[in-house]
């Protein structure tokens, strides 16, 4: 690592066993066992309180989740406090709802009457706090680029803590929304991963959590500005979507989504989406540090212009040049123009934006680890999706647009990993490929809903 690399100290650390230790239970301290006891107690409480409402698959998932959470908390100790605090806040919110019950269970109207629900612990309130904390985290991380050395460290440390706060509020919002859905009617309750609003919350906290892990592992906070940028973009879309479509309202599941497969397929998919986005932003940092000015101008400005032109043509000209489409064209032009201006600023300010980045081998290693992890989970999610399709529609694969683009994403990263492992692909070519992969992934995630229709069109724009 070069001398410009910023070392985050102190901060979250990885639990490394002492030399000579062996086995999963060696070297465990009292806090490890206390955490394990709390997780087991929480799981038994959930079985006792909500077991009657669970089917055999849900009970199996809860049973598996307990040792999985314990193992994760032992592997990465900061997770222990996050899990305990998120669980406690969620139970507090449920208790506050329960104090204002009705004939069915909780009175969801309490979210507008009870102070702590209205301003913090109701699902929508928690998601709004998540949004604010992620925005503030992004600002502090970026502020570190333009502050003096000591001040930069302080700004980035605050950004890191705010990111942890955003993850905490997102988890609370997710768990409470799950509870709220079950209070509307017995046949409406579901895990909140069923529409664009819910999966964007999932994407935000999952991407942030993976980044925070790598921040601790590689001992650098200088990449926070880049990664939090894509999270802030997702938060911006989430807020717009909430207002434009009232997407925060809990809706019943369509028949095809009333399956236990959704509970494992969607989260596995978003491990892939989150880590692919993380790798793309690391690739952007790598390119700003190494690529020539001309290559950056062509790649970060010229290529998106061509992509934007193609999208606008498909979106508007196919429908004809009516006043309505022209008005929409103007709105899209402003949004995309803002992205191009941002890229131009990044190219202009590349020196302060890259002065304290980790060494190039570290950036490449982080890119590789992110893509490898995401590819593994995306592969699992694709297989699970095939089983789900067979159950819902009678066939494992139907070349639906969403399935086709999921295959394109999978092939893209499979090829990237093959070229790295078998051909030793490194450097700017690898970084450009990882960055362009975000475009492919975004189209598979959002573009299919915008421009195509098919069996997976549950979250239209």
Question: Would you list the DSSP string of 102-160?
Answer: -SSSB-GGGGGTSHHIIIIISHHHHHHHHHHHHHHHHHHHHHGGGS-HHHHHHHHHHHH
Mean pLDDT of the chain: 84
pLDDT at 319: 54
The pTM of the full predicted model, rounded to 2 decimals, is 0.88
- Give pLDDT tens digits for 166-225: 999 999 999 999 999 888 877 788 889 988 899 999 999 999 999 999 999 999 999 999
Instruction: Tell me the pLDDT band of 9, cut-offs 50, 70 and 90.
Output: very low
198 in helix, strand or coil? helix
Instruction: Tell me the pLDDT band of 331, cut-offs 50, 70 and 90.
Output: low
pLDDT at 189: 82
> Does position 375 have pLDDT exceeding 90, yes or no?
yes
Length, in residues, of the chain: 461
pLDDT at 82: 96
In the numeric block, the tokens 């959002």 are attached to: 446
> Does position 86 have pLDDT exceeding 90, yes or no?
yes
Which residue stretches of 246-349 are H helix? Answer: 262-290, 293-296, 303-315, 323-348
In the numeric block, the tokens 């690739």 are attached to: 283
User: CB 310: neighbour CB atoms within 10 A?
Assistant: 10
User: If you average pLDDT over residues 250-267, what whole number do you get?
Assistant: 84
pLDDT at 2: 43
Which of the listed ranges 143-152, 238-247, 368-377, 444-453 does the model predict with the highest average pLDDT? 368-377
pLDDT at 317: 56
Rg (CA), the chain: 23
Instruction: Tell me the pLDDT band of 152, cut-offs 50, 70 and 90.
Output: confident
Mean pLDDT lowest among 50-54, 61-65, 207-211, 306-310: 306-310
Whether omega for the bond prior to residue 10 falls within 30 degrees of 0, making it cis, is yes
- How far is 246 from 240, CA to CA, in rounded Å? 9
Instruction: Tell me the pLDDT band of 453, cut-offs 50, 70 and 90.
Output: low
User: If you average pLDDT over residues 104-120, what whole number do you get?
Assistant: 84
- Asked if 397 contacts 264 with a C-beta cutoff of 8 angstroms, the reply is no
> Does position 392 have pLDDT exceeding 80, yes or no?
no
pLDDT at 103: 45
% of the chain residues with pLDDT over 70: 83
- Asked if 434 contacts 368 with a C-beta cutoff of 8 angstroms, the reply is no
> Does position 298 have pLDDT exceeding 80, yes or no?
no
User: If you average pLDDT over residues 357-376, what whole number do you get?
Assistant: 95
> Does position 248 have pLDDT exceeding 90, yes or no?
no
> Does position 333 have pLDDT exceeding 70, yes or no?
no
Which of the listed ranges 149-158, 310-319, 326-335, 419-428 does the model predict with the highest average pLDDT? 419-428
And the tokens for 290? 């190494």
User: CB 425: neighbour CB atoms within 10 A?
Assistant: 16
Higher pLDDT, 303 or 180: 180
Q: Angle at the Cα of 179 (from 244 to 248), degrees rounded to 5? A: 0
pLDDT at 380: 96
What Å distances lie between residue 198 and 160, 177, 194, 247, 260, CA to CA?
Answer: 24, 9, 6, 9, 17
């Amino acid at each position: 690592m070069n001398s410009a690399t910023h070392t985050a100290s102190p901060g979250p650390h990885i639990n490394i066993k002492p030399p000579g230790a062996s086995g999963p239970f060696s070297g465990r301290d009292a806090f490890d066992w206390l955490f394990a006891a709390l997780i087991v107690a929480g799981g038994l409480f959930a079985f006792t309180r909500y077991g009657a409402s669970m089917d055999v698959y849900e009970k199996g998932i809860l049973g598996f989740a307990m040792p999985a959470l314990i193992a994760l908390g032992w592997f990465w100790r900061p997770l222990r406090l996050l899990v305990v605090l998120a669980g406690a806040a969620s139970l507090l919110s449920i208790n506050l709802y329960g104090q204002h019950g009705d004939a069915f269970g909780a009175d969801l109207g309490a979210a507008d009457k009870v102070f702590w629900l209205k301003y913090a612990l109701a699902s929508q309130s928690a998601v709004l706090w998540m949004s604010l904390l992620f925005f503030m985290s992004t600002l502090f991380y970026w502020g570190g680029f333009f502050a003096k050395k000591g001040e930069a460290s302080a700004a980035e440390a605050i950004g890191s803590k705010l990111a942890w706060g955003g993850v905490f509020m997102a988890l609370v919002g997710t768990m409470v929304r799950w509870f709220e859905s079950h209070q509307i009617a017995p046949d409406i309750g579901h895990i909140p991963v069923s529409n664009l609003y819910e999966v964007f919350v999932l994407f935000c906290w999952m991407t942030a959590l993976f980044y925070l892990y790598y921040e601790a592992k590689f001992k650098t906070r200088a990449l926070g500005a880049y990664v939090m940028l894509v999270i802030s973009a997702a938060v911006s879309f989430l807020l717009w979507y909430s207002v434009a479509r009232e997407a925060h309202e809990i809706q019943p599941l369509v028949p095809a989504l009333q399956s236990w497969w959704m509970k494992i397929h969607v989260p596995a998919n978003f491990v892939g989406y989150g880590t692919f986005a993380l790798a793309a932003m690391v690739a952007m940092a790598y390119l700003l540090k190494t690529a020539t000015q001309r290559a950056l101008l062509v790649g970060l400005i010229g290529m998106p212009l061509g992509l934007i032109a193609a999208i606008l043509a498909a979106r508007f000209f196919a429908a004809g040049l009516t006043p309505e489409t022209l008005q929409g064209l103007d709105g899209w032009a402003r949004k995309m123009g803002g992205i191009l201006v941002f890229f131009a600023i990044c190219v202009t300010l590349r020196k302060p934006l890259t002065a304290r980045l980790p060494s190039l081998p570290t950036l490449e290693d982080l890119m590789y680890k992110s893509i490898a992890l995401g590819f593994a989970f995306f592969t699992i999610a694709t297989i699970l999706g095939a089983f789900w399709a067979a159950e819902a529609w009678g066939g494992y694969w139907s070349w639906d647009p969403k399935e086709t683009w999921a295959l394109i994403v999978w092939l893209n990263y499979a090829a990237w990993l093959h070229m790295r492992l078998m051909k030793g692909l490194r450097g700017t070519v690898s970084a450009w490929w990882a960055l362009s992969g975000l475009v492919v992934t975004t189209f598979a995630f959002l573009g299919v809903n915008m421009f195509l229709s098919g069996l997976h069109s549950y979250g239209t724009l």
